Structure 1
Amino acid sequence: MTENTRTPAGRRLLLACLTLALALVPAWTTTRAADAKTADLVYANWEEGIAYTHLARAVLEDKLGYTVTITAADVAPAYAAVAQGDKDAFMETWLPVLHKDYMERYKNDVIDLGHVFEGTESGLVVPRYMVEAGVRTISDLLKDEAKQRLRQTITGIDAGAGVMVTTENEVMPAYGLTDAGYTLLPSSGPAMMAALKQAMAKKEWIVVTGWKPHSMFGYWDLAFLEQDKDQVWGAGNIHITGRKTLREDKPELAKFLEKMQLTNSELGSLMVAINESKKDTLDAARDWMNENETVVARWLP
């Protein structure tokens, strides 16, 4: 006991401080509980991520009583936001290849919550009629006819995406595409799909950065170009990446994201349902959730 608390005035001051501290405990506990029932998720503007992130929001809100915020962002700022603790989780980490640089950069600031989809494939994609015309491998893009008809252009998505970084920094130099004058044209997922749709309608030649899962393979007859030299792309999984303290701060949310998994047929069904629905994305995802209760039930903590 200090000198100040030995006097009546000192003891009254100490008692007042203790009373105030105890009074704040319920409010602090309530705030912590409220925070634990929120989810702030960030996703890339890619079809599969859009689909299952909106589905995650629907399940969290309707089944678990969460207040959910979802934000679309380019890959680089998405990782930075999670690493800095501004977002709870990034919903689309492609491993082991496409996002390996991001995971290495932020390995001390994020946690891996496991895969939401197993069996990805990435690469350069062309219409089947190009394959039938003799463009079967990445090296075939060096043929004079291919360079002319493609205008030495590869149509891509957003510049920070893993498939873009890998294509520009590894694939194009390794296969001589850079030296041959090819350029990688950044755009977005929807813009790439629009360009592909237009080319397919006119039977024009086009090569795009592509991946599975994606509904493009359901709409059109497409093929990945064979990696006939360096094997840059391989099969992998899509993971969910959380901020470092998510399991401690929001254990129920972390457990839900760890258990959330979709098969190829389930995710394909979800993407088609959203694409063909006249409702907005969240309502379409909610309809799919209500029609697939057994799938959703697997994810609930």
Structure 2
Amino acid sequence: MIKQSMRLTGLALVAGATLAAGSAQAQDKGTVHLSYVEWSSTVASTNVMKAVLEQAGYEVETSSLSAAAMWQSVATGDTDALLAGWLPTTHEDYYAKLKDQLVDTGVNLDGTKLGLVVPAYSEVDSIAGLNEHADDFDGKLTGIDPGAGIMRLTNKVIEEYDLDLDLQSGSGATMTAALKSAIANEEDIAVTGWTPHWMFARWDLKYLDDPKNVYGGAEQIHTIVRQGLKEDMPGAYAILDNFEWTAEDMGEVMLMNQEEDSNPYENAKKWVEENQDLVQEWLPES
């Protein structure tokens, strides 16, 4: 009995060790490197994807870059993927130059929009009417980081409409700070804006009409990955390929990120935990 007991104990230890090793191996799937820009939409999607990939057993690194560097990093293989390919218009220049070095896995969010945004109380309703009120806007348009596709398009807007306003670059944070200050003082301001963005839930805003359609129509946000990722990490590729959500989903995460002292990564993990039905659709079948 003693020998049998020792034998059973030994078998249990071996089985336990085998299960532990198998579990460790399942959790050691490699590292996925995501690049992103500090835009509220991209911060939301990148952190959600980080949380989902970690749930699937991957290590995840993220790099905050300019828009141009973000695209370039995936093309060169320095990072594995980006979740912020605004196509066909906003990032058309980046995509045209680098598409032969990239893999477009498809749309992760449909129905985006971008353009010049003003407070709803503004008398101006169209880009064509900005010159008549240039003084009300202090002769400027408030933009974001200079490498963003919307900045390229806004410079084109200034040219096409022959606007007497200068485009000022900054960041997503400085743009929304300026918008907040102007609205608090009921002043006119025109900013480079896009949907989805939390500012539309926070304030009463409107897009200026773009009769020349310089900003283009509705766009989609695409997931772009490096060549070879499908072969190197088929599971991670499948998750990135399957990832698709709505503007309402993204909006929930963006609003969470605007709460005081909130942590975008912790917010993303919370959202992932609360939306497992959707998350399971992104995970490949085991």
Q: Do these two structures clear the TM 0.5 threshold for a shared fold by scoring above it?
A: yes
Q: Which residue of 1 aligns with 2:145?
A: 158
**In structure 1, how many angstroms separate the alpha carbons of the residues matched to 2:116 and 2:99?**
29
In the TM superposition, what is the alpha-carbon distance from 1:113 to its structure 2 partner?
1.4
In the TM superposition, what is the alpha-carbon distance from 1:36 to its structure 2 partner?
5.2
In the TM superposition, what is the alpha-carbon distance from 1:274 to its structure 2 partner?
2.6
**In structure 2, how many angstroms separate the alpha carbons of the residues matched to 1:252 and 1:237?**
24
Which residue of 126, 130, 134 corresponds with 1:141?
A: 130
- Cα pair 2:87 2:219 within 8 Å, conserved: yes
- Cα pair 2:28 2:58 within 8 Å, conserved: no
Structure 1 residues 107, 35: CA separation in 2 closer, same or farther (over 3 Å shift)? Answer: farther
In the TM superposition, what is the alpha-carbon distance from 1:230 to its structure 2 partner?
4.1
Q: Which residue of 2 aligns with 1:172?
A: 158
Which residue of 107, 110, 131 corresponds with 1:115?
A: 107
In the TM superposition, what is the alpha-carbon distance from 1:275 to its structure 2 partner?
2.1
- Cα pair 1:277 1:284 within 8 Å, conserved: no
Which aligned segments of 4 or more residues in structure 1 are displaced greater than 4 angstroms? 33-36
Structure 1 residues 293, 36: CA separation in 2 closer, same or farther (over 3 Å shift)? Answer: closer
Residue 129 of structure 1 aligns to a residue in which SS?
Answer: coil
In the TM superposition, what is the alpha-carbon distance from 1:115 to its structure 2 partner?
1.4
Structure 1 stretches lacking a partner, 5+ long? 1-32
In the TM superposition, what is the alpha-carbon distance from 1:248 to its structure 2 partner?
1.6
In structure 2, give the amino acid aligned to 1:74.
Answer: S
Which residue of 237, 245, 249 corresponds with 1:254?
A: 237
Structure 2 stretches lacking a partner, 5+ long? 1-25
In the TM superposition, what is the alpha-carbon distance from 1:246 to its structure 2 partner?
1.4
Identical pairs, percent: 39
**In structure 2, how many angstroms separate the alpha carbons of the residues matched to 1:184 and 1:277?**
30
In structure 1, give the amino acid aligned to 2:159.
Answer: P
Which residue of 203, 215, 230 corresponds with 1:220?
A: 203
User: Are residue 282 (structure 1) and residue 271 (structure 2) matched?
Assistant: no
Larger Rg: 1
- Cα pair 1:256 1:300 within 8 Å, conserved: yes
Which residue of 47, 51, 59 corresponds with 1:58?
A: 51
**In structure 1, how many angstroms separate the alpha carbons of the residues matched to 2:112 and 2:247?**
9
- Cα pair 1:273 1:288 within 8 Å, conserved: no
Q: Which residue of 2 aligns with 1:16?
A: none
- Cα pair 2:114 2:215 within 8 Å, conserved: no
In structure 1, give the amino acid aligned to 2:83.
Answer: M
Q: Which residue of 2 aligns with 1:128?
A: 120
**In structure 2, how many angstroms separate the alpha carbons of the residues matched to 1:185 and 1:35?**
46
- Cα pair 2:52 2:279 within 8 Å, conserved: yes
- Cα pair 1:215 1:268 within 8 Å, conserved: yes
- Cα pair 1:36 1:249 within 8 Å, conserved: no
In the TM superposition, what is the alpha-carbon distance from 1:276 to its structure 2 partner?
2.4
State how many pairs are aligned. 259
Q: How does 1:1-301 map to 2 (within 5 A)?
A: 37-61=30-54, 63-130=55-122, 133=123, 135-143=124-132, 146-168=133-155, 170-177=156-163, 180=164, 182-276=165-259, 278-301=261-284
**In structure 2, how many angstroms separate the alpha carbons of the residues matched to 1:246 and 1:282?**
24
In the TM superposition, what is the alpha-carbon distance from 1:271 to its structure 2 partner?
1.4
**In structure 1, how many angstroms separate the alpha carbons of the residues matched to 2:27 and 2:250?**
31
Structure 1 residues 243, 187: CA separation in 2 closer, same or farther (over 3 Å shift)? Answer: same
**In structure 2, how many angstroms separate the alpha carbons of the residues matched to 1:88 and 1:101?**
20
Q: Which residue of 1 aligns with 2:8?
A: none
